[in-house]
């Protein structure tokens, strides 16, 4: 397709329409079809609200997508194909663990395979663009959207970003089944002050380049087709109006050559930031900053034409954005084959893959006296508010169909161990009585998905009081307690850890969460996850993270023992409850013979691609098979800028 020739043939209104995305919730079909045929809009977002991943009204009807694509390509003057975008965050028909959980796998290869299957399911339904990966960097687990993040380490997040982009886009965006990825939210959204969504952010130049940009650079280097700007203002300038961030850095420094889309309504919200008097001003600011496509608020559609007429915006600037949008459509082969058919994905096989990933996200936090794995000959009592629920284990940003909702944990464990004596009590008084007659008690605790995700921040990450009291009362029965935790975010466990003999953190694990939990508890699957974020002792320690910069006193604060100069509190230790990278195993590993191939490398060697190479021998000295995540950390001992005492630079 000759993009430049096509642009010359387009009217100004047709160009502006290509920079416009409208919402389609499958109930407004005729209205949307009319807009497509009359105005040739560039894209649809599949959903009627900003929360298009949550809610029955966002269920996909693929035949309507095909009809709308046909309308765009056959019933308009130029026949330009549509992009159909959707928040395919951690699954489509098959729900995988939430993103933060999958980061705990430390397994980019498996992650890419998972997103390859997610891509197949989305493409089968006619989706050719996803608003994923979410690459926000966050140190505050009170923020609801931490569940979508890739952890607190820039190196880990960068490797996972590459895996997700390549999972969606395959080896080439031109492959017929490829789905365009969108790296979001660029940039700084995860630093929302106080963990309150959409809040002010203050990010230094040092932090921006060392913490926030690396994952986006990885996504760009991996060929991400699109980038979404973030809602927030940073250091007094909304990202949606920042040419420095969206053009000078993103395109100039990082080399991004795709197109930028606004987040839902972010352009019009420049009025709320008190940067624009009206939508016309907002449209001018956003386009000049570098936002190519306007998501749903019609600022571009309603005002760019008048802005060109008044001389406030040049048509050449609009042409540049149109060129970027059309080039992505051309790279995807949509001009040649806008309507595509694919074989139905193997949903059962995808559920098995989700279970494999779920096991690799499970983190064993405590295992006193090797209580786990359990013996199927034991008498077991199951209780707790998350033992009898199903859909809550999927997390936010999902559409649950009855066929693919997770089982409740009690149903899953009974199905998995039918000959084991398992008693389930959802009544507190009866659960205490049952506990006395059991060998072990499994107490399933957690948080529902509606307290995580967008616009769902919390002021405290402590275990809810009722769940804490349940543990205390169960422990009084004198039995061993296994805490089975289904949370989306990190939680503060200091106050409840003494009442659990073993703690298995299952996150919001998706369609296979409860079945996998049963397998892990009985030792038929290994809990090989390692924490991708620090777990504080109490909420008041936030922010606490492993790669903090050393201070003049207490340079080992995160890992050290409490002492006179420790950066602790009068009422709390300065160390975390569980550090980044932590996770126990059912077996024991021994490290030996750690060697470095090179003791030093010059800067010139590094520029020429030479790398440090380290080898280590890892031996399983336990009595059962296991999986270890080997982690390599570095420290710049004498630097021109202060560097963290530990920086993850390799894992396997």
Q: Which residues are catalytic?
A: 263
Judged on CB neighbours under 10 Å (0-12, 13-18, 19+), 77 is: exposed
Matching residue, tokens 């949307």: 32
Q: CA 106 to CA 167: how far, in whole Å? A: 16
Would you say how long the chain is, in residues?
652
Round to the nearest angstrom and report the end-to-end CA distance of the chain.
43
Classify strands 43-46 and 20-24 as parallel, antiparallel or unpaired: parallel
Matching residue, tokens 């049963």: 518
Q: CA 366 to CA 394: how far, in whole Å? A: 24
Beta bridge partners of 333: none
Close Cβ partners of 74 (under 8 Å, ≥ 6 residues apart): none
Matching residue, tokens 């569980």: 578
Q: CA 305 to CA 192: how far, in whole Å? A: 35
- According to DSSP H, which parts of 396-527 are helical? 409-416, 428-436, 465-475, 513-521
- Return the half-sphere exposure (C-beta side, CA atoms, 13 A cut-off) of residue 480: 18
Q: Is 465 helix (H, G, I), strand (E, B) or coil?
A: helix
Q: What is the strand order of the sheet 422-424 is part of?
A: 363-367, 502-505, 480-486, 440-446, 380-383, 422-424
CA 441 to chain CA mean position, Å: 33
- Residues of the chain by 3-state class (helix, strand, coil), percent to 5: 35, 15, 50
Q: What are phi and psi of 441, to 5 degrees?
A: -115, 130
User: Under a CB-based contact definition with an 8 Å cutoff, are residues 515 and 359 in contact?
Assistant: no
SS3 of 512-560: the string is HHHHHHHHHHCCCCCCCCCCCCCECCCHHHCCCCCCCCCCCCCCCCCCC
Per-residue CA distances from 143 to 35, 137, 147, 259 (Å): 37, 11, 9, 28
Close Cβ partners of 41 (under 8 Å, ≥ 6 residues apart): 17, 18, 20, 21, 22, 35, 82, 301
Q: Is 343 helix (H, G, I), strand (E, B) or coil?
A: coil
- According to DSSP H, which parts of 266-408 are helical? 279-289, 299-309, 315-331, 347-361
Q: CA 42 to CA 264: how far, in whole Å? A: 16
Q: State the helix-helix crossing angle for 29-39 and 62-74, rounded to 10 degrees.
A: 20
- Return the half-sphere exposure (C-beta side, CA atoms, 13 A cut-off) of residue 34: 4
CA 313 to chain CA mean position, Å: 36
Q: What are phi and psi of 13, to 5 degrees?
A: -65, -40
């Amino acid at each position: 397709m000759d993009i430049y020739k096509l642009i010359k043939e387009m009217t100004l209104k047709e160009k502006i329409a290509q920079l416009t995305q409208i919402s389609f919730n499958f109930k407004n079909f005729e209205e949307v079809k009319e807009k497509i045929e009359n105005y040739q809009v560039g894209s649809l977002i599949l959903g009627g609200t900003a929360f298009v991943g949550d809610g029955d009204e966002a269920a996909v009807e693929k035949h309507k997508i095909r009809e709308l694509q046909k309308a765009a390509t056959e019933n308009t003057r130029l026949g330009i194909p549509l992009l159909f975008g959707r928040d395919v965050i951690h699954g489509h028909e098959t729900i995988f663990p939430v993103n933060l959980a999958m980061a705990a796998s430390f397994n980019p290869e498996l992650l890419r395979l998972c997103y390859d299957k997610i891509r197949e399911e989305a493409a089968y339904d006619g989706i050719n663009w996803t608003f994923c990966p979410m690459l926000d960097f966050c140190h505050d687990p009170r923020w609801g959207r931490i569940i979508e993040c890739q952890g607190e380490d820039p190196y880990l997040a960068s490797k996972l970003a590459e895996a997700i982009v390549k999972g969606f886009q395959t080896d080439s965006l031109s492959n017929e089944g490829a789905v365009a990825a969108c790296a979001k939210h660029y940039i700084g959204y995860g630093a929302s002050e106080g963990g309150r969504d959409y809040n002010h952010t203050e990010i230094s130049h040092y932090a921006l380049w060392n913490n926030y940009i690396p994952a986006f650079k990885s996504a760009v280097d991996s060929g991400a087709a699109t980038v979404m700007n973030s809602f927030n203002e940073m250091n007094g300038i909304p990202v949606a109006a920042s040419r420095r961030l969206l053009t000078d850095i993103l395109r100039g420094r990082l080399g991004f050559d795709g197109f930028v889309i606004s987040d839902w309504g972010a352009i019009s919200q420049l009025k709320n930031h008190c940067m624009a008097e009206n939508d016309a001003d907002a449209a001018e600011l956003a386009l000049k900053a570098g936002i190519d496509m306007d998501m749903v608020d019609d600022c571009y559609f309603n005002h760019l034409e008048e802005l060109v007429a008044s001389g406030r915006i040049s048509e050449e600037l609009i042409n540049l954005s149109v060129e970027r949008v059309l080039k992505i459509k051309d790279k995807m082969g949509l001009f040649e084959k806008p309507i595509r058919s694919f074989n139905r994905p193997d949903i059962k096989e995808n559920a098995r893959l989700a279970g494999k990933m779920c096991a690799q996200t499970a983190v064993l936090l405590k295992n006193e006296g090797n209580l786990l794995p359990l013996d199927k000959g034991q008498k077991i009592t199951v209780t707790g508010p998350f033992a009898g629920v199903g859909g809550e284990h999927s997390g936010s940003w999902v559409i649950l169909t009855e066929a693919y909702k997770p089982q409740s944990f009690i149903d899953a464990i009974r199905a998995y161990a039918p000959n084991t004596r398992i008693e389930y009590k959802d009544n507190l008084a009866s659960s205490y009585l049952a506990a006395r007659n059991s060998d072990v008690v499994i107490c399933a605790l957690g948080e529902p998905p509606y307290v995580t995700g967008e616009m769902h921040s919390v002021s405290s990450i402590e275990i809810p009081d009722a769940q804490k009291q349940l543990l205390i009362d169960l422990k009084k029965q004198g039995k061993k307690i296994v805490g089975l935790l289904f949370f989306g975010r990190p939680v503060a466990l200091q106050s409840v850890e003494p009442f659990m003999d073993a703690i298995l953190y299952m996150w919001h694990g998706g369609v296979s969460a409860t079945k996998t939990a049963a397998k892990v508890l009985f030792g038929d699957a290994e809990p090989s996850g390692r924490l991708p974020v620090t777990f504080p002792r109490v909420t008041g320690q936030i922010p606490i993270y492993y790669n903090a910069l050393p201070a003049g006193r207490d340079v080992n604060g995160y890992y050290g023992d409490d002492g006179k100069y420790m950066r602790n509190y009068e009422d709390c230790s300065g160390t975390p409850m569980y550090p980044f990278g932590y996770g126990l195993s059912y077996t024991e590993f021994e490290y030996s013979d750690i060697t470095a191939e090179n003791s030093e490398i010059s800067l010139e060697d590094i520029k020429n691609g030479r790398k440090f190479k380290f080898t280590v021998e890892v031996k399983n000295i336990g009595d059962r098979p296991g999986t270890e995540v080997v982690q390599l950390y570095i420290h710049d001992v004498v630097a021109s800028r202060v560097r963290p005492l530990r920086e993850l630079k390799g894992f396997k």
